[in-house]
Amino acid sequence: MTVHFITPRPVWPVRGGDALRAEQILLSIHNAISNDIKLYTLSGTQDSSLVPTLLQDRVKICNFGRSSNNFLSLFYFLFSGKPLQYAFFYNRRVESALNKALYGDVFVLHTIRALPALPRNVPASQVAIDLCDSLSMTYDRLVQERSQPLARRLIYREESRRLRMAERSITALADYRTIISPKDAEAIGDPGIRVVENWVDFPAFLSKEELDSQVSRPLLGVMIGNFRTVQNREGARLLHRWTENLRQKGLISIQLWGKNSEKLSELSSQNFEIQGEYESSQDVFKYADVSFCLTKVSGGLQNKVIQASAHAVASIVVPNVYESSPYLNNPSCIVVSTQSELEYFIENTNAQVLANLGEKAAIIARDAFGRSSVEAKWASLFRALTANGLN
């Protein structure tokens, strides 16, 4: 029996929350069961040189280039009433390869975008799908953003409706369904879905002496994300506006890190740097005093708070993100609703206060999102899934 793992985008290099979660799922499969694993990517190519050592002998990477008829698939999904997300990642060659899978093999789908690749007539008992987060909820909140052009909001509304129908349809297709947070589970409305968070690894932090040696510099704030998405770009622009006075006073400098950050090159200015992609989150957070999550649409952003916490860095968030995160009672999350609130906080804090808050964040994250506790949830699921397959 083989485990077929299907993901819309490459896992390696790990850049962004979806890739991080996909890698964690693969590591959990490796540790939980001994079956062969085949990895299929719907768009892009895996970088095999970056596969973790543990997985190099276990995971067979099946790279299939996308066929040239993807423009036609866009029309198909548009007029079929299914989410356009399906069209963006549809790969007929992967679909054909999976249709040749042996009877009794099991399938693990990562995000709703992978659903069209699932072969027909596979028993639901042999299928697991990790939604990661609720895409319909993300699009719902984009619709509510009045700054969006009307035509775009209408498209988002229709896509949200289609995604909601797709998310609710998976109960008949997969017996094992997971999602990243209670808030996303609530949006799906599936009582059988399991909440499995991302775990966090805890790197070596700056020592107290290193922090003390930097007290004369302005505070360093960072924002991470894939700036291809509208919500991340709008969050970065909001950060630029809200910190303008603080940067002019020399109280804080800002760094943007992540894929497609060049789309925000117009924001580059004194004390506001566009750093680009990063290989390791340690590069981002090593000297950071605070992480900003000023993105009003909350889908996936709890990962940013957790990742900052893993590096003992406190987060400044807006209420929408705060409400969707697992840190409702976390004193290391500073909630600001306006520019004046942010300015007041920064003007009345210092690096040591933020470092103390970051240490509290790391303790909370370690207790709630340590690898062993999260991996145990995945292990239970994958052992039950493979028990339904045929060895």
**Rounded to whole angstroms, what are the CA distances from 6 to 81, 106, 109, 168, 338?**
23, 11, 5, 20, 42
Residues 172 and 269 both lie in one domain: no
Residues 175 and 230 both lie in one domain: no
Please report, for the domain that includes residue 116, its CATH number. 3.40.50.2000
Residues 114 and 258 both lie in one domain: no
Q: How far is residue 314's CA from residue 346's CA, in Å, rounded to a whole number?
A: 13
Residues 174 and 266 both lie in one domain: no
Residues 117 and 227 both lie in one domain: no
Residues 179 and 244 both lie in one domain: no
Residues 63 and 15 both lie in one domain: yes
Q: How far is residue 39's CA from residue 33's CA, in Å, rounded to a whole number?
A: 16
Q: How far is residue 88's CA from residue 220's CA, in Å, rounded to a whole number?
A: 37
Residues 130 and 142 both lie in one domain: yes
Q: Are 168 and 131 in contact (CB under 8 A)?
A: no
Residues 150 and 247 both lie in one domain: no
- pTM attached to this predicted model: 0.76
Residues 284 and 140 both lie in one domain: no
* Sign of the CA dihedral with 155 first, then 140, 281, and 108 last: negative
Which domain covers residue 70, as residue numbers? 2-199+370-387
The number of folded domains in the chain is 2
Q: Over the stretch 61-106, which tens digit does the pLDDT of each residue have? A: 998 876 655 667 777 777 788 998 998 898 989 999 999 998 899 9
Residues 50 and 119 both lie in one domain: yes
| Ranges of the chain whose pLDDT falls below 70 | 66-71, 202-216, 296-301, 320-330, 390-391
Residues 62 and 180 both lie in one domain: yes
Q: Over the stretch 353-363, which tens digit does the pLDDT of each residue have? A: 999 999 988 88
pLDDT of residue 209: 44
